[in-house]
Amino acid sequence: MSKVYLSAELPGVAVEKLRANGLEVESYTGSDLISHEELSKKVSNVDFLITTLSTKVDKEIIEAAPKLKLIANFGAGFNNIDIVYAKTKKIIVTNTPRVSTNSVAEVTMGLILALSHRIVEGDHQMRQSGFPGWAPLYFLGHEIAGKNLGIVGLGNIGSEVARRANSLDMKVSYNKPNQLSDPEERALRVVYQPFDELIQTSDYISINAPLTSKNHHQFNASIFKQMKKTASLINVARGPIVDENDLLNALKTGEIAGAALDVYENEPKVNNAFKDLKNVILTPHIGNATIEARNAMADIVADNVISASKGQLPHFVVNK
């Protein structure tokens, strides 16, 4: 019987499917993330590994798994896996794209609205000191209608952010390596801008791009100086795209107005200095944390393992 190891507990649908197809399943059940040392031991005799974005699967882990045929990553990204080395060992690596698109797009818009109307800040105040009563100039925020939203990265998620922003009467521009065709731009009601222009004209900047070697610390001190002082940055993509020390300085000195972060440069660690700022919203990587998205992701990883166990090519291979 082929063995599957799960580096974290998954929605029940995944385990049910795997066992129904005759696979032996073991799952890590600790309250913390699985350690590198424990994962190395657990994969020594498994055929398939289902792992998460928070778990590093490097050369050492791959070397510790001589029987491994497939690494099914529970997430759209796969920065946590050495996919090049896996390929040299003829190990297939897959991911779970697209199914988290709606959830992440909704969270993006939620963060924009929360920043604009100071919702988190207001909730905190109500729980602490309360408020003195309604007054014309009290706790003012901003409407997002008519404001400029610049989207960096216009893939599946960025496109859904654009659609939602349009429905709220925002003006949407974007930047990505390959500009869309004119019909595509018209359909999405978006306008292409060079990166520097987008940075300088946007009231809100949403990062919806994958992490690459080219965009590591793309948002740094130089970029923050070019942004409007009234602008806010939203990052639901990957933490290392933003230089957090530079962002912290920009927020403290008023170079930009605010930020909302769902991902972090040294995740899961968060720079404690952010916690002292009222103009920052911090969420624990909940972009696709919905029952709908996680069940769909569980379906994909289970189906991919089942396909591989039958000698079939799984879907969404990232190291062809």
User: Is the C-alpha dihedral spanning 285, 290, 291, 294 positive or negative?
Assistant: negative
Same domain, 299 and 208: no
Residue among 238, 255, 265, 294 flagged as catalytic? 238
Same domain, 70 and 125: no
Percent helix, strand and coil across the chain, each rounded to 5?
40, 15, 45
Q: Which of 28, 88, 36 is nearest to 57 (CA)?
A: 36
Model confidence pLDDT, tens digit, residues 300-315:
999 999 999 999 999 9
Same domain, 108 and 8: no
In a domain, 88, yes or no: yes
313 token code pair: 């090519």
Model confidence pLDDT, tens digit, residues 55-110:
999 999 999 999 999 999 999 989 899 999 999 999 999 999 999 999 999 999 99
Confidence category of residue 39, pLDDT binned at 50, 70, 90:
very high
Q: Which of 149, 199, 151, 140 is nearest to 169 (CA)?
A: 149
pLDDT score at 196: 97
Same domain, 44 and 117: no
Same domain, 257 and 243: yes
Same domain, 68 and 187: no
Determine the Cα–Cα distance for residues 162 and 210; give it in Å rounded to an integer. Answer: 17
Same domain, 93 and 187: no
pLDDT score at 19: 98
Same domain, 105 and 83: no
In a domain, 197, yes or no: yes
Full residue range of the structural domain in which residue 48 is found: 3-98+290-309
124 catalytic? Reply is no
Same domain, 47 and 124: no
Model confidence pLDDT, tens digit, residues 230-273:
999 999 999 999 999 999 999 999 999 999 999 999 998 999 99
60 catalytic? Reply is no
In a domain, 317, yes or no: no
Model confidence pLDDT, tens digit, residues 191-220:
999 999 999 999 999 999 999 999 999 999
Same domain, 168 and 39: no
267 catalytic? Reply is yes
pTM for the predicted model, two decimal places: 0.93
Same domain, 59 and 117: no
Same domain, 117 and 263: yes
Residue among 117, 163, 189, 285 flagged as catalytic? 285
User: Is the C-alpha dihedral spanning 295, 300, 305, 310 positive or negative?
Assistant: positive
Q: Tally the domains of the chain.
A: 2
> For residues 46 and 18, is the Cβ–Cβ distance under 8 A?
no
263 token code pair: 């991902």
pLDDT score at 30: 94
In a domain, 315, yes or no: no
In a domain, 318, yes or no: no
Mean of all residue pLDDT scores within the chain: 97
> For residues 39 and 82, is the Cβ–Cβ distance under 8 A?
no
Model confidence pLDDT, tens digit, residues 166-178:
999 999 999 999 9
